[in-house]
Amino acid sequence: MTKLDAKIPGGNLADKWTTFKSSVSLVNPSNKRSLEIIVVGSGLAGASAAASLAELGYKVKVFCFQDSPRRAHSIAAQGGINAAKNYQNDGDSVYRLFYDTIKGGDYRAREANVHRLAEVSGSIIDQCVAQGVPFAREYGGLLSNRSFGGTQVQRTFYAAGQTGQQLLLGAYSSLQRQVGMGNVKMYTRHEMLDVVTIDGKARGIIARDSVTGALERHFGHAVLLCTGGYGNVFYLSTNAMGSNVTAAWKAHKKGAFFANPCYTQIHPTCIPVSGDHQSKLTLMSESLRNDGRIWVPKKENDTRKANEIPEDERDYYLERRYPAFGNLVPRDIASRAAKERCDAGFGVGASKMAVYLDYAAAIIRYGKGEANKHNMHNPSDEEIQAMGKAVVKEKYGNLFDMYKQITGEDPYQVPMRIYPAVHYTMGGLWVDYNLMTTVPGLYALGEANFSDHGANRLGASALMQGLADGYFVIPYTIGAYLAAEIRTPAMSTDTPDFDAAEKAVRDRLETLMNIKGNKPVDYFHKRLGKIMWDECGMARSAEGLKASIKEIQALQKEFWSDVKIPGEIDNLNPELEKAGRVADFLELGELMCVDALDRDESCGGHFRTEFQTEDGEALRDDQNYAYVAAWEYEKQSKFKLHKEELKYENIKIAQRSYK
Amino acid sequence: MEGNLNLTLKIWRQKNASVAGKFETYQVSGISTDMSFLEMIDVLNNRLIEEGDDPVAFDHDCREGICGMCSMYINGRPHGPNRGVTTCQLHMRSFQDGETITVEPWRASAFPVIKDLVVNRSAFDRIIAAGGFVSINTGNAQDANSLPIPKEDADDAFAAAACIGCGACVAACKNASAMLFTSAKISQLALLPQGKVEASKRAEAMVAQMDEEGFGACSNTGACEAECPKGISLENIARMNREYFSATFSSK
């Protein structure tokens, strides 16, 4: 078994990053100008990395499949971004953010990476404000904070329910500035279809121009995959329609290990499925759990309308089960608790697969607060309601509007119906401390890597990690590799390795087009999604996983003999793009089940029904499973497990409790 | 069959930028009122695939109204009949059984058609690249709270920054003007002290790029504001003009 070297610097945890920065090799400015870096993906990680590297003087090429880098799915992040600023004077610190993240991740993340993340978190806020990101502010002109799940301090910075949008537009503006200066060349409507390796190092990519269908070769001294997560393996998720695993999966097949693929985050507060036509699910930000109260009727199969159910007949089950954190328990716990109630027959709505998220109490509380502020001594109920609704509107207005658009119901009048949905994937390409995969010169940043969130990500930490990796980590760590590449001149792409890579990509596209079967791509994607949701979703069992692996293998065969792709190979062809992505999801889905089956414990988002405490909480096995499962691709359906042992030297590993 | 809406769709089909396009008529039935407009098009497309026809190409991604990628011109209005909504958030409950719905791409020479309903909006990226940023490199920033900003200014900047770059403003304008889009970014940054430093230079550079891209002039009709899915205000155009004129009067 090969030993994975995470290259974690020595010394005390709190000094590792500082020591690393002071000792890592540097590349002088004139050498930077002749080093070329390819960045795939233009979300928070990709845009921030590309802008920062171009500012340093590297020659950068950026690729995205959308029509503009500003569309990347980071744009849809709602609630906020964490940072250990302690502006609230409520006891926050770098150590506490580190601790909360490790604990929230159910003790399955790497200490050194998480500590570094907490250390740079403050600089991210500074950087974004300097770019003109309009964060929410208090009347005194200073930045406002809100609470989020899994923490007891207020460290989340936000811009209404559109924080991801504002942060991405900030990174995008920095990126476009470099594009305008000629330091970044932007390739939109381009999809990366393979990594090119030469003598074991990543040296470029093959990309398809979606408009013309032409295959292109691009050289880079290093390749950064900032391509997001793979939640769409479930078909229905909160991810954008185009979000996919293809870039990461191609890298995996070229030698990059895939770590903890089964760690999936099912987000507790999403708008429930309304029918078979459903193409995606919509998140209602976790920040809503700040003020909203989650409940179901105490009576089984209660058919009354929410507003007709009296207070003492409501079960606020999160407050009941977890009094210390209440509605703000971490996501994995809140999701499982909702599933438990619905499975037990207490669900609400037409499908009975939903719970209520209720704002009635918050509206009254805010309304009374406003009355006090305005010196109104005997406000009427109507006045309280109106003022309370105004406050809620300012905090969460866009989310309430979105809910109304989708469901046709007004959440200011009736409680929202919510249910868990696939949202984020903690697993991803295995990377070392430098964010390099097991292929030299190939990096993975943001959600595409595995390193910081363990088995469960805390709310408002995805934006933090994406920007940390791009703005403040990769500009330093890439020097460790590129300093040794200064004598490598830019290579021609007219070489046998590029020939072979391009031919393989072309052959695969032609094979897909020539199947000429009977079923559209969506048919296979929906079937894969159902298998994954039923057997590798919120609850998993050895029996179910074993059966799923067989089912997925059969589905792979069916796909490759019966998929029907219309249109031409050399024109804009969304079905062909989708087919390539679903083919990769079909292989990834199998690996996720293999990984979930290997892990005979429950931790974070991975819940094996065989491993639970008496009261239904996840039961970890630290003796045998305190490792990162890094899978090597050997051949179709054959993956080899490598283990990176997780050592906790600064935190006492304990059973997670939010009670 | 999930619902009971039967509709006639007249959709613009165009193979690529170099050939002429035309409307094709399709019937769809059994549409649920809970479907989004794009899910209704998904239903049509899966049927076209099964029948061996080329599905309708359209841009879309997040399907929650924030990425700005979807772009259909529905019954003569960008993003359809409802105010403050993108096409992906338009639901079929806004239509009647038996209705005929006409769907076109954005119409503007600066947004050439790529295929069917897909247009090229990269002109917007070039306008931002010309000056839609604060010139600060990573690592230069001071502590975020060392710069208090009045809440009203931050709120106004946020309201301008909420633009999703979809291009509905251009599609709605009889002159295909990009003033609302351009002014939203200029305003956001001019309202904040971080962006004030280069406000004049920014306005000049972005307006010059906007003109070069072939967008038309503004005639203050206000269709852009009325059709904007994010409610970006016309006041931004006034603010942009202020920045632009002060820049051109004072420039050497």
Domains of chain B by start residue, with CATH: 5-115 (3.10.20.30), 121-250 (1.10.1060.10)
Smallest Cβ distance to B49: which of A70, A133, A566? A566
Percent pLDDT > 70 in chain B is: 98
The rounded distance, in Å, linking the Cα atoms of A619 and A610 is: 9
What's the pLDDT band for A655 if we cut at 50, 70, 90?
A: confident
Asked if pLDDT for residue A597 goes beyond 80, the answer is: yes
Residue B239 contacts A, CB cutoff 8 Å? no
A131 and B194 within 8 Å at the Cβ level: the answer is: yes
Nearest chain A residue to B62, by CA: A240
In this prediction, residue A469 carries a pLDDT of 98
DSSP A306: G
Task: For residues A624 and A612, give the distance between their C-alpha atoms in angstroms, rounded to a whole number.
Answer: 16
Residue of A nearest to B144 (CA): A126
pLDDT at A2 over 70: no
Residue B180: which H helix or E strand, with range?
A: helix B179-191
With beta carbons less than 8 A apart as the criterion, state whether A437 and A13 touch: no
Distance (Å, whole) CA A345 – CA A352: 8
- By DSSP bridging, strand A81-82 and strand A156-157 are antiparallel
B84 touches A at CB < 8 Å: yes
In chain B, residues 157-176 whose CB comes closer than 8 Å to chain A: 157-158, 161-162, 164-165
Residue A518 DSSP code = S
DSSP string, A355-408: EEEE-HHHHHHHHHHHHHHTT-SS--HHHHHHHHHHHHHHHHHHHHHHHHHHHS
B113 to chain A: which residues are within 8 Å by CB? none
Rounded to whole angstroms, how far apart are CA atoms A473 and A507?
A: 38
Q: Pick the residue with more confidence: A230 or A402?
A: A230
Question: Where in chain A are the domains?
Answer: 268-422, 494-623
Q: Any idea what DSSP says for residue B191? A: H
* Residue B100, both tokens: 């005929």
Residues of A annotated as part of the active site: 331
- The pTM score is 0.97
Q: So what CATH class is A268-422?
A: alpha beta
Provide the residue-wise pLDDT of chain B in tens; the chain has 252 residues: 568 899 999 999 999 999 999 999 999 999 999 999 999 999 999 999 999 999 999 999 999 999 999 999 999 999 999 999 999 999 999 999 999 999 999 999 999 999 999 999 999 999 999 999 999 999 999 999 999 999 999 999 999 999 999 999 999 999 999 999 999 999 999 999 999 999 999 999 999 999 999 999 999 999 999 999 999 999 999 999 999 998 888 765
Our CA dihedral for A381, A382, A383, A388, rounded to 10 degrees, sits at 90
- What gap in Å lies between CA A35 and CA A487, rounded to an integer? 10
Collapsing DSSP to helix, strand or coil, B71 comes out as coil
| Fold matches, A268-422 and A494-623 | no
* B232 vs A: CB within 8 A: no
Q: Determine, for residues B62 and A575 on separate chains, whether the beta-carbon distance falls below 8 Å.
A: no
Query: Where does chain B show beta strands of DSSP type E?
Result: 5-13, 22-31, 73-74, 77-78, 100-104, 113-115, 118-119
Option in B140, B141, B151 nearest A137 (CB): B151
B197 in contact with chain A, both atoms CB, cutoff 8 A: no
Instruction: Please indicate whether, in this complex, the C-beta atoms of B34 and A408 are within 8 angstroms of each other.
Output: yes
Percent of chain A whose predicted confidence (pLDDT) is above 70: 100
Give the type of residue at A123: S
Average pLDDT across chain A, whole number = 96
Residue A430 has pLDDT above 50, yes or no: yes
The residue of chain B with its CA nearest to that of A573 is: B57
**What is A494-623's CATH number, 3.40.190.80, 1.20.1730.10, 1.20.58.100, 3.40.50.920?**
1.20.58.100
Q: What is the pLDDT of residues A42-78, one digit of tens each?
A: 999 999 999 999 999 999 999 999 999 999 999 999 9
Burial A492-503 (b: 16+ CB within 10 A, else e): ebebebbeebbe
**A1 pLDDT band (50/70/90 cuts)?**
very low
pLDDT of A396 reads 87
Rg of chain A in Å (alpha carbons): 24
Residue A148 — pLDDT band, cuts 50, 70, 90? confident
Token output for A114? 């998480």
Residue with the two structure tokens 């899978």: A631
ipTM of the complex: 0.98
pLDDT > 90: what percent of chain A?
Answer: 93
pLDDT of residue B3: 83
Amino acid at B162: A
> What's the distance, CA A404 to chain centroid?
26
B113 touching A, CB under 8 A? Answer: no
CB A160 within 8 A of CB A136: yes
- CA-to-CA dists, residue A186 to A46, A69, A380, B217, angstroms: 12, 8, 58, 28
User: Quick check: A286 pLDDT over 90?
Assistant: no
Contact A354, A347 (CB under 8 A): yes
pLDDT exceeds 90 at position A8: yes
Give backbone dihedrals phi and psi of B81, rounded to 5 degrees, phi first: -75, -20
Q: How far apart are CA A168 and CA A186, in angstroms?
A: 16
Helix extents (H) in A16-149: 16-23, 29-32, 44-56, 94-104, 111-131
Can you say whether the dihedral through the CA atoms of A202, A204, A208, A209 is positive or negative? Answer: positive
**Using a CB-CB distance cutoff of 8 angstroms, which residues of chain B are in contact with residue A574?**
55, 57
pLDDT at A347 over 50: yes
Per-residue pLDDT of A541-562, as tens digits, reads 999 999 999 999 999 999 999 9
Tell me, what amino acid is at B103?
Answer: V
B129 in helix, strand or coil?
A: helix
CB of B208 within 8 Å of a chain A CB? The answer is: no
Would you state the pLDDT for residue B1?
52
Number of residues that make up chain A: 659
- The C-alpha atoms of residue B95 and residue B40 are separated, in whole angstroms, by 12
- Residues pairing with A146 in the sheet: A156
Q: Using a CB–CB cutoff of 8 Å, tell me whether B18 touches chain A.
A: no
Residue with tokens 């980590």: A473
Question: What strand order describes the sheet that includes A355-358?
Answer: A264-270, A416-425, A355-358, A293-297, A314-315
User: In angstroms, rounded to a whole number, what is the distance separating the alpha carbons of residues A27 and A35?
Assistant: 10
What are A169-172's contacts with CB under 8 Å, separation 24+?
A169/A70, A169/A75, A169/A133, A169/B161, A170/A128, A170/A131, A170/A132, A170/A133, A171/A44, A171/A47, A171/A48, A171/A51, A171/A131, A171/A467, A171/A470, A172/A42, A172/A47, A172/A69, A172/A70, A172/B128
- Please give the Cα distance from B95 to B18 (Å, whole number): 34
Q: How far apart are CA B3 and CA A590, in angstroms?
A: 35
